[in-house]
């Protein structure tokens, strides 16, 4: 009865199938119908009461998946060149699980709904471009030239349960031009790539450390949030920020608040880099440092920096912005004011 229903693509009640009462046919027929349309020479097995596992197939296409919300389709075979592209493209519903036997080149781009799971590491795979809904879960590390969450929007979510460590060919990195949704990296993010550049909304969370990132939160706008739960040693943090919030759970560095116009940066640890200044060319916004701070730039034109620990550069600061050490406003000395004015006069803004 099930085979006949698949061939005819007709609805069939559980009572009329040869699998009754062990399985509800409505939980497996949508996946089987999908495979009939989008593969050839398919071999499957049933797993549990609601799961269809593809163990072999040719010309498998995994685009536009639209099945019942809790119906699960597992791909446990090599998709080949034909099936590697556009996996999960414009997926609308259902649960699609890929084992490590599959080697996609794209995952969940333009996804609308449903859940897409990859059970392993991914290399050189673009994940979740322009997603507007649904969830992607990668149960491993992501590396190579992989780009994650470019132009993510709506209530879409991406979870990486390992490290994100791309190379320099990953030009947009993590969350470039996000407008909404959420990206979560369970471990570390490392590599010379940007994170959250030109974000207009949404949330990026890195549960571990950030190392070597070229830019974190560059050009962020109101409504966007980046939260690094441990140390953040990005080359630039919050450069050209126009709004939004950056939170760092431990120490932060190197260049912090470069050309910052608005928004908020909160560092729960220290910001004591000797090679870079804090607030260089800063016009507005707020930087809070719970620990100690190094040098604040004399080219700080506006905004506010609050240091709850020791401000090591307090005696040489001669900028125009307000800097507080443990709640007390720093009033620059005459020599520091002269030095600061000379520095600013040599810079054409």
What's the pLDDT tens digit per position in 130-165?
Answer: 999 999 999 999 999 999 999 999 999 999 999 999
- Which are the contacts of 345, defined by CB distance < 8 A and separation ≥ 6? none
Say which residue the tokens 């080359």 belong to.
235
pLDDT for 18:
53
Q: How far apart are CA 140 and CA 122, in angstroms?
A: 7
Q: Identify the pLDDT of residue 348.
A: 59
- Tell me how far apart the alpha carbons of residues 298 and 313 are, in angstroms, rounded to a whole number: 11
CB 178 within 8 A of CB 157: no
pLDDT (0 to 100) of residue 5 = 45
Say how many C-beta atoms besides its own lie within 10 A of residue 193's C-beta. Answer: 27
Tens-place pLDDT, residues 236-289 = 999 999 999 999 999 998 899 999 999 999 999 999 987 789 999 999 999 999
Taking the CA atoms of residue 307, residue 259, residue 267 and residue 255 in that order, the dihedral angle to the nearest 10 degrees is: -100
Helix (H, G, I), strand (E, B) or coil at 36: helix
Q: How confident is the model at residue 70 (pLDDT cuts 50, 70, 90)?
A: confident
Residues 6+ apart with CB under 8 A from 24: 14, 49, 50
User: What pLDDT sits at residue 21?
Assistant: 47
Q: Which helix (H) or strand (E) holds 183?
A: strand 179-185
**What whole-number distance in Å separates Cα of residue 343 and Cα of residue 160?**
45
Pairwise CA distance, residues 276 & 295, whole Å: 8
Residue entry with tokens 């016009």: 283
| Whether pLDDT at 3 is above 60 | no
Q: Is the dihedral of CA 316, 321, 325, 327 positive or negative?
A: positive
Q: Cα separation of 194 and 213, whole Å?
A: 6
Q: Are 224 and 245 in contact (CB under 8 A)?
A: yes
Of 217, 215, 192, which is closest to residue 203 (Cα–Cα)?
Answer: 217
Residue 4 has pLDDT above 60, yes or no: no
Over residues 57-65, mean pLDDT: 88
Q: Which residues pair with 15 in a beta bridge?
A: none
Q: Report how far apart, in Å, the C-alpha atoms of 3 and of each of 11, 45, 287 are.
A: 12, 13, 65
Whether residue 179 contacts residue 202, with contact meaning beta carbons closer than 8 Å, is answered with yes
Query: Tokens at residue 276, please?
Result: 């870079």
0.85 exceeded by pTM: yes
CA 145/CA 82 separation, integer angstroms = 21
Lowest-pLDDT choice from 217-226, 229-238, 331-340: 331-340
**Alpha-carbon distance 331 to 345, whole Å?**
20
Confidence of residue 170 (pLDDT cuts 50, 70, 90): confident
Percent of the chain that is helix, strand, coil (3-state, to 5): 10, 35, 55
């Amino acid at each position: 009865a099930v085979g006949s229903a698949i061939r005819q693509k007709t609805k069939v009640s559980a009572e009329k199938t040869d699998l009754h009462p062990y399985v509800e046919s409505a939980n497996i027929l949508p996946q089987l119908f999908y495979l009939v349309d989008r593969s050839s020479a398919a071999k499957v097995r049933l797993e549990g009461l609601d799961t269809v596992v593809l163990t072999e197939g040719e010309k498998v296409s995994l685009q536009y998946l639209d099945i019942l919300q809790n119906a699960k389709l597992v791909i446990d075979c090599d998709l080949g060149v034909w099936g590697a592209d556009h996996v999960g493209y414009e997926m609308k519903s259902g649960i699609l699980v890929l084992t490590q036997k599959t080697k996609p080149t794209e995952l969940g781009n333009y996804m609308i709904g449903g859940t897409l799971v990859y059970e392993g590491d991914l290399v050189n795979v673009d994940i979740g471009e322009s997603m507007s809904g649904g969830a992607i879960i990668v149960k491993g590390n992501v590396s190579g030239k992989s780009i994650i969450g470019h132009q993510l929007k709506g209530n879409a979510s991406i979870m990486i349960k390992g490290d994100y460590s791309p190379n320099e060919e990953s030009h947009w990195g993590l969350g470039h031009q996000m407008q909404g949704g959420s990206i979560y990296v369970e471990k570390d993010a490392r590599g010379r790539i940007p994170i959250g550049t030109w974000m207009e909304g949404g949330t990026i969370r890195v549960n571990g450390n950030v190392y070597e990132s070229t830019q974190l939160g560059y050009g962020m706008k109101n409504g966007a949030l980046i939260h690094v739960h441990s140390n953040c040693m990005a080359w630039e943090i919050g450069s050209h920020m126009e709004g939004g919030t950056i939170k760092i759970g431990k120490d932060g560095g190197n260049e912090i608040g470069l050309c910052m116009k608005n928004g908020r940066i909160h560092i729960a640890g220290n910001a004591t880099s000797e090679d870079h200044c804090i607030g260089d060319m800063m016009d507005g916004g707020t930087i809070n440092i719970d620990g100690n701070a190094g040098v604040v730039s004399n080219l700080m034109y506006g905004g506010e920096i609050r240091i709850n620990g020791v401000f090591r550069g307090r005696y040489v600061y001669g900028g125009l912005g307000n800097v507080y050490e443990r709640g007390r406003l720093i009033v620059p000395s005459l020599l520091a004011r002269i030095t600061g004015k000379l520095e600013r006069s040599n810079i054409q803004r």
